[in-house]
Structure 1
Amino acid sequence: MTTVELDYSSDGIVRLLRTPPEQRSLSWLKDALQQAIMLELATLPPYLCGWWSLLQDTDSGKAAARAIRVIVFDEMSHLGHVCNLLTTIGGSPRIADESVLAPYPCPLPGGVRPAINPDLEVYLGGLTKDSVEMYSQIEAPEEPLAQFAHAEETFASIGLLYTAILEAFRVHQGEIRGTRQVTKSMEHHGEGNSLFPISSLADAEKVITIIKEQGEGTEKTPDNPFPGVAGELSHYYVFREIFRGRKLKKIQETPPKWDFQGDPIPFPNARPMGKVPKGGWANDPDTVPDATARAELDKGNVAFSEMLRSLEEAWKQDRPEDADQHLGDAISHMFALKGPALKLMDMPLPNDPARRYGPEFRFVATP
């Protein structure tokens, strides 16, 4: 049996995927789901920084802000779905724990290496061509429909992890208990965003399909099969459109083929948030914040930490009404993140006045 440590910087996902399918026990499945929680958590802060940095002073800025907002809420729903997958088989999500959180800048957790860029570094910064490229590499499917550079080697990827999780659920479907499930209606954010109880294999198959296809699309189409509005693309292709500066267009029916040959998309304007250094702004002598900036950073870090604590508590509750209260608290803390973030993005860095501060998303332990 393979066991993996609960540590963001470990190669836990790689080792889990190397375990032969016939040895993937219930313990293996719980470990894999906790690693998936770490993955979902790692994507949210970079996307939030990009979204909040956008200036909606042009049509392309407004469109990009809407698109990234949709993706952020999809990713939050994915986190909830994975937590429900873990608790339905008797596990307990670890969320409010520094060891499971991304120490930006860093790779993806567990040794995940996207096929398009195995050396991907995930960081916190404003929306730029580089950051949009990073976002699309995070979401990239194994075989993109409109991306022509493929790696010859097969790497441990997000898609491979979820495929392995689904296969393990099929083996261990008798362990699905429907315990400690959190429900939340969020259809206004998209067809796949509402959290619902996982009480059968069919439920597990449904949520894993939602997670994979909202992010990657399918083997046949780049469209999001679970959209908020008609014609919405999966996350990978949304980011590629912004990066390429062109709408994705179907250029051939048989066999189907797409390329970025549609209408031009001017790159949106954004606040020039700098890249957060390892360990936070204060950890670099050139970017030590003054008292005003430090106060806003502290507000954001506390709100982030309280959000994580509330989320973890939600999935500890046996009674749905208790879970609802903690989930509501988490949502309130999430909205409290934006104010400090926007104030920070107006504060110049001392070593580079053309760049700005931004949120750190650092975990603050309770006293």
Structure 2
Amino acid sequence: MSQNTQALRQAIQEKLQTAITLELSTLPPYLTAYFSICPNTNIKATEAIRSVFMEEMLHLCLAANVLVSIGGTVSFSAKTIPQYPCVLGFKGREFNIDLARFSRQSVNTFRRIELPDYMPPLDESLHEKENVSVSGYSIGEFYNSILDDLHTLHDSCISSKEALFIADASKQITETYFWRGGGKPIAVVDMDTARAALKEIIEQGEGTHISLYDNDNVEFGQTRELAHFFKFNEIYYEREYEENDDPLKPPSGKKFAVSYGEVYPLKTNCKQSDFADNEELAQLNHKFNMTYTLMLKQIEDAYAGNPHVLYNAIMNGMHDLSPIARTMAKIKIDPNDPLSETGAPSFEWVQPLEIKETKNGI
């Protein structure tokens, strides 16, 4: 392989590693807002947030499929997973992401994350050093740049009669090992499937070009869904979209209730150290973090040639996180705190050795 081809392949692998970190960085804030909502309230908002974080897991897997298909390795560690508060830096717009309760402010942050590339920024940038730096104005522009690089590398490989993609997709996640939700995992074995995988990420987040909707009804015969930005926009404006609404304008349809008062008063950006004087919360958060870290290690293992492990990661990981988080949300950190702030998971890494010794008790 020529030096230039190898350098471009490595650059694309690094971009895809960033893409995986980007997708992972959205999960804890979405989950924290979701866990904070009191049961049987804010039904429409709850359903929207849940559908989005399920699809973000799909996006992580699609990006990982592309990475593995060109010889890269999926890896998670204490140094590579996002820590909060996290500064997400797009080209020309940077902003904080917090682990925070469901509020109009948190929903606005979610809108900023999912902003389509044809829309202006929602507000001023922070101009801070980014924890996650994305070489694009939006998620869509970032993924399109990866796709452009892949086309260039693919053409170069054809000219030099070299293989870009690994034909064996046994180290990738396919529908056999996935769960139900919008979209489907795509095994990446050539340029066409790589393009389909990356376009699926873009369209679920931003919609098809200047459109409210993703393309899952056409691609997979599924129910047509609003793209992520527009789901959050409905919550923000407390109003549904009409089919022919202008994507550049707020929704004009039926109003629905959003109650930010029916939310547990979670402390923002909790750390394990915040629970030093509350043994119950300390134990619950440690258990949550062990389960979260184990889930990430299982996803890593799935992409090392054991794809069946992904099902365990979701069934025994994601499903186990919810009851722990909901229990924490009801417990005051300090009984004497006038704000009565309650606990929330910190999504911190726990050393794998510690997990190995205790995982039977998870």
What's the counterpart of residue 188 of structure 2? 198
Is residue 249–residue 259 contact of structure 1 (8 Å, CA) maintained in 2? no
* Post-superposition CA distance 1:99-138 (Å, at most 9, x none): 1111100112xxx3276xx231011111111111111111
Q: Distance in 2 between matches of 1:250 and 1:214?
A: 17
* Post-superposition CA distance 1:297-335 (Å, at most 9, x none): 011000000001000011011xxxx321x2122111221
Aligned with residue 67 of structure 2, among 72, 86, 91: 86
Aligned with residue 33 of structure 1, among 16, 40, 43: 16
Q: Distance in 1 between matches of 2:307 and 2:209?
A: 37
Aligned with residue 164 of structure 1, among 142, 145, 152: 145
Q: Structure 1 30/148 Cα, relative in aligned 2: closer, same or farther at 3 Å? A: closer
Q: Does 1:354 align with 2:340?
A: yes
TM-score, normalised to structure 2, is 0.81
What's the counterpart of residue 336 of structure 1? 320
> Letter of the aligned partner of 1:25 in structure 2?
L
Is residue 288–residue 345 contact of structure 2 (8 Å, CA) maintained in 1? yes
Aligned with residue 102 of structure 1, among 82, 88, 103: 82
Q: Structure 1 214/352 Cα, relative in aligned 2: closer, same or farther at 3 Å? A: farther
SS in 2 for 1:259: coil
Q: Distance in 1 between matches of 2:121 and 2:273?
A: 41
What's the counterpart of residue 350 of structure 2? 364
Gaps of 5+ in 1: 1-20
SS in 1 for 2:94: coil
What's the counterpart of residue 245 of structure 1? 238
Q: Percent identity?
A: 26
Is residue 249–residue 260 contact of structure 1 (8 Å, CA) maintained in 2? yes
Q: Distance in 1 between matches of 2:331 and 2:38?
A: 16
Is residue 92–residue 316 contact of structure 1 (8 Å, CA) maintained in 2? yes
Deviation at 1:187, TM superposition (A): 7.3
Q: Distance in 1 between matches of 2:164 and 2:289?
A: 37
Is residue 136–residue 142 contact of structure 2 (8 Å, CA) maintained in 1? no
> Letter of the aligned partner of 1:296 in structure 2?
L
Is residue 174–residue 187 contact of structure 2 (8 Å, CA) maintained in 1? yes
Q: Does 1:113 align with 2:104?
A: no
Q: How does 1:5-154 map to 2 (within 5 A)?
A: 25-58=8-41, 61-95=42-76, 97-108=77-88, 112-113=89-90, 118-144=93-119
Gaps of 5+ in 2: 128-134, 155-162, 354-362
Q: Distance in 2 between matches of 1:158 and 1:81?
A: 14
Q: Does 1:297 align with 2:285?
A: yes
Deviation at 1:224, TM superposition (A): 2.0
Number of residues paired by the alignment? 323
Q: Structure 1 178/274 Cα, relative in aligned 2: closer, same or farther at 3 Å? A: farther
Q: Distance in 1 between matches of 2:6 and 2:285?
A: 45
Aligned with residue 224 of structure 1, among 214, 226, 243: 214
What's the counterpart of residue 181 of structure 2? 189
> Letter of the aligned partner of 2:235 in structure 1?
I
Q: Structure 1 229/87 Cα, relative in aligned 2: closer, same or farther at 3 Å? A: closer
Q: Distance in 2 between matches of 1:264 and 1:121?
A: 29
Aligned with residue 175 of structure 1, among 141, 164, 189: 164
Q: How does 1:314-325 map to 2 (within 5 A)?
A: 314-317=302-305, 322-324=306-308
Is residue 114–residue 138 contact of structure 1 (8 Å, CA) maintained in 2? no
Q: Structure 1 23/247 Cα, relative in aligned 2: closer, same or farther at 3 Å? A: farther
Deviation at 1:160, TM superposition (A): 2.2
Is residue 245–residue 266 contact of structure 1 (8 Å, CA) maintained in 2? yes
> Letter of the aligned partner of 2:304 in structure 1?
K
Q: Structure 1 230/366 Cα, relative in aligned 2: closer, same or farther at 3 Å? A: closer
CA RMSD of aligned residues (A): 2.8
Deviation at 1:177, TM superposition (A): 1.1
Deviation at 1:54, TM superposition (A): 1.8
Q: Structure 1 124/257 Cα, relative in aligned 2: closer, same or farther at 3 Å? A: closer
Q: Distance in 2 between matches of 1:23 and 1:136?
A: 37
